[in-house]
Amino acid sequence: MSVTDYVIRRVLIVIPLIIGLTLVVFLVSHMLPGDPVAAHLGQRSMEDPAIVAAFRQEWGLDQPLYVQYLTFLKNLSQGNLGVSIHTKQPVMDDLGRYFPASIELAVTAVFFAILIGIPLGIISAVKRNHPVDHGARVVSLLGVSAPVFWLALVGLYVFYLRLGWLPGPGRLDTGMTEPTHITGMFTVDSLITGNMTAFASAVRHLFLPALVLGMATAGLVTRMTRSSMLEVLSSDYIRTARAKGASEGRVIIQHALRNSMIPTVTVIGLALADIMSGAVLTETIFAWPGIGRYAFQSTVSLDFPSIIGVTLLIAVVFALANLVVDITYVFLDPRLRTA
Amino acid sequence: MGADLADTPATAASPQGLTIDSRWRPVPKGPSALSATFRFLRHNVLSLIGVVIIIFWVVVSITAPVIAPYDPLKQSLRDRLQAPSAQHIMGTDELGRDVFSRVLYGGRISLPIGFIVVISATVIGALLGATAGYAGGAWDNGLMRLTDLVMAFPPIILAMAVAAALGAGLNHAAIALIIVAWPSYARVVRGLVLSVKKNEYVAASHAVGASHARILFRSVLPNTLGPAVVMSTLGLGTAILTFAGLSFLGLGAVPPTPEWGRMVADGINAFDQWWVSAFPGLAILTVVMAFNFVGDGLRDALDPRLRKGT
**DSSP-assigned letters across all residues of A147-214:** -HHHHHHHHIIIIIIIS--S--SSSS-TTPPPPP-SSS-HHHHHHHTT-HHHHHHHHHHHHHHHHHHH
Of A150, A299, A315, the CB nearest to B161: A299
pTM: 0.83
Which of B115, B122, B119, B156 is closest to B242 using CA atoms? B156
Is omega for the bond preceding A33 within 30 degrees of 0, making it cis?
no
More confident residue, B7 or A220: A220
Cβ atoms A298, A307 nearer than 8 A = yes
Instruction: Flag the least confident range among B43-52, B144-153, B226-235, B271-280.
Output: B144-153
Of A231, A300, A311, the CB nearest to B164: A300
- Per-residue confidence of chain A (339 residues) as pLDDT tens digits? 677 787 787 778 777 777 777 887 777 677 666 666 766 666 667 777 888 787 777 767 778 888 888 887 888 888 888 888 888 889 999 999 999 999 999 999 999 999 999 999 999 998 888 899 888 988 898 888 999 999 999 999 999 999 999 998 999 998 898 999 899 999 999 999 999 999 999 999 999 999 999 998 999 899 889 988 888 888 898 889 889 988 888 888 888 888 888 888 878 877 776 787 788 889 989 999 999 899 888 888 878 788 888 888 887 887 788 778 777 877 777 766 655
CA–chain centroid gap for B120, Å, is 10
What pLDDT is stored for residue A209 in this prediction?
A: 96
Of B148, B251, B277, the CB nearest to A150: B277
Cβ atoms A94, A306 nearer than 8 A = yes
Write the single-letter amino acid at B73.
Answer: L
Q: Compute the distance between CA of residue A15 and CA of residue A29 in angstroms, rounded to an integer.
A: 21
What pLDDT is stored for residue B1 in this prediction?
A: 36
- Direct distance between the N- and C-terminal alpha carbons of chain B, in angstroms, rounded to an integer: 41
Mean per-residue pLDDT over chain B, rounded: 83
Looking at beta carbons, which residues of chain A come within 8 Å of B235?
Answer: none
Q: Compute the distance between CA of residue A294 and CA of residue A284 in angstroms, rounded to an integer.
A: 9
What pLDDT is stored for residue B8 in this prediction?
A: 39
Which of B90, B194, B85, B181 is closest to B137 using CA atoms? B194
Share of chain B above pLDDT 90, in %: 45
Cβ atoms A292, A106 nearer than 8 A = no
What pLDDT is stored for residue B26 in this prediction?
A: 52
pLDDT tens profile B86-114: 999 999 999 999 999 999 999 999 999 99
pLDDT at B257 over 70: yes
More confident residue, B221 or A45: B221
* Among A residues 115-144, those touching chain B with beta carbons less than 8 Å apart: 137-138, 141-142, 144
Contact A281 B293 (CB under 8 A): no
For testing the chain A interface, which of B150, B247, B248, B274 should be mutated: the one with the most A CBs within 10 Å? B248
Looking at beta carbons, which residues of chain A come within 8 Å of B269?
Answer: none
Bridge partners for A90 per DSSP = A83
Looking at beta carbons, which residues of chain A come within 8 Å of B292?
Answer: 141, 144-145
Q: CA of A69, closest CA in chain B: separation in Å?
A: 16
ipTM over cut 0.90: no
What pLDDT is stored for residue A33 in this prediction?
A: 63
Per-residue burial over B106-135, b if 16 or more Cβ lie within 10 Å, else e, is bbbbbbebbebbbebbbebbbbbbbbbbbe
Cβ atoms B54, B290 nearer than 8 A = yes
DSSP count for chain A of H helices, then E strands:
16, 0
What pLDDT is stored for residue B308 in this prediction?
A: 45
More confident residue, B35 or A63: A63
Give the mean model confidence (pLDDT) for residues B150-176: 82
Q: CA of B74, closest CA in chain A: separation in Å?
A: 25
Contact A231 B305 (CB under 8 A): yes
More confident residue, A118 or B309: A118
Cβ contacts of A56 within 8 Å, gap of 6 or more: A37, A62
pLDDT at B6 over 80: no
